[in-house]
Amino acid sequence: MQTQTSPRKIISYALIVFAAAALLLLFRHQHRKTTARPDNQEPPPAQSNPGPAHVAPGTDSPATSPQPGKLTLAGTAVKQTRNGLAATIRFSAGPATQPESLSLIVRLPRTGNARILDLASDDSVKYSGIGKRVSEDGKFAIFQGTPEPLSSAQFLLEVSGPTTADIRGTCGIEPFQLGIQPTGTEIHRQ
C-alpha cells in the first residue's frame, strides 16, 4: 500500500531543507570572516564582550524590548538534568511578528567534550511542518517550523556538559553566544 504525500507537504519540506542550507552557509561564511587570519595561524580564543549577563539557575537574563517584526532575546535559564544541562532560551516577539518559518541554529565548539543532546521548542507555541536535526557529532543542531500565532518563543537546548553555544536564527534573532554552566548562563552578544 502506497501513501501519497501532498504537494503542499513536499513544498513545505523543501523549504525547510532550503532554509536550513541557506542558514548553514550564512553561518559558515560569518564564522570564516570572524576567524580568518592573514598569517594562517590559529585564531585566538574567543573573547567575550564586556559585561556579560551572568544568570543563576532558574532566573532570567536582562531583556531588551522587542522590535517590530523581530524576535528579541528575553531570557535564559539553566538546570541540571540526568544527562547534563538544559538551557531554556526565551524570545519575545515585537509587534507584527508572524513569520512563515522560524529557524534556530546552534553550534558548539569543535574542541571540547560537550555535545548537543536535543534542541526543541516548548509547548507555548504550536508549530507545523517541524524539522529538527542534531548532527552525529553533537556539535550542530537546527530547529525549524512554522509557528501559529506568535507572541513569544521558547526553546530548550540540552547539552551533555558545560559549553558555550553559538546561536543564530531567522525572524530578526541576533546572533549571540550562550555560556552554559551548572551555576547559570552568560550571554555574549556578537
In a domain, 31, yes or no: yes
In a domain, 164, yes or no: yes
DSSP string, 24-44: HHHHHHHHHHHH--TT-PPPP
Q: In this predicted model, what pLDDT tens digit does every residue of 114-158 receive, in sequence order?
A: 999 999 998 777 888 889 999 999 999 999 998 887 778 899 999
Q: What mean pLDDT do residues 53-59 have?
A: 42
Q: What mean pLDDT do residues 155-162 have?
A: 97
Q: Name the 3-class secondary structure at 118.
A: strand
CB 95 within 8 A of CB 79: no
Read off the pLDDT band of 73 (50, 70, 90).
very high
**What backbone phi and psi angles, to 5 degrees, belong to 81?**
-120, 175
Q: Name the 3-class secondary structure at 17.
A: helix
pTM higher than 0.85, yes or no? no
> Strand order of the sheet with strand 102-107?
53-55, 184-189, 176-181, 163-169, 102-107, 140-147, 127-134
Q: Name the 3-class secondary structure at 12.
A: helix
In a domain, 85, yes or no: yes
Regarding predicted confidence, which is higher, 29 or 106? 106
CATH of the domain at 105: 2.60.40
In a domain, 21, yes or no: yes
Regarding predicted confidence, which is higher, 66 or 25? 66
Torsion of CA 124, 161, 59, 51, to 10 degrees: -120
Q: What mean pLDDT do residues 94-112 have?
A: 86
In a domain, 1, yes or no: no
Amino acid at 62: P
Q: What mean pLDDT do residues 171-178 have?
A: 93
In a domain, 131, yes or no: yes
Q: What mean pLDDT do residues 68-74 have?
A: 84
Mean pLDDT of all residues belonging to the chain: 77
Q: Name the 3-class secondary structure at 20.
A: helix
In a domain, 2, yes or no: no
Amino acid at 54: H
- Which residues constitute the domain of residue 76? 7-42+53-189
Domains in the chain: how many in total? Answer: 1
In a domain, 20, yes or no: yes
Read off the pLDDT band of 28 (50, 70, 90).
low
**C-alpha 116, offset from chain centre:** 11
Read off the pLDDT band of 97 (50, 70, 90).
low
Regarding predicted confidence, which is higher, 59 or 80? 80
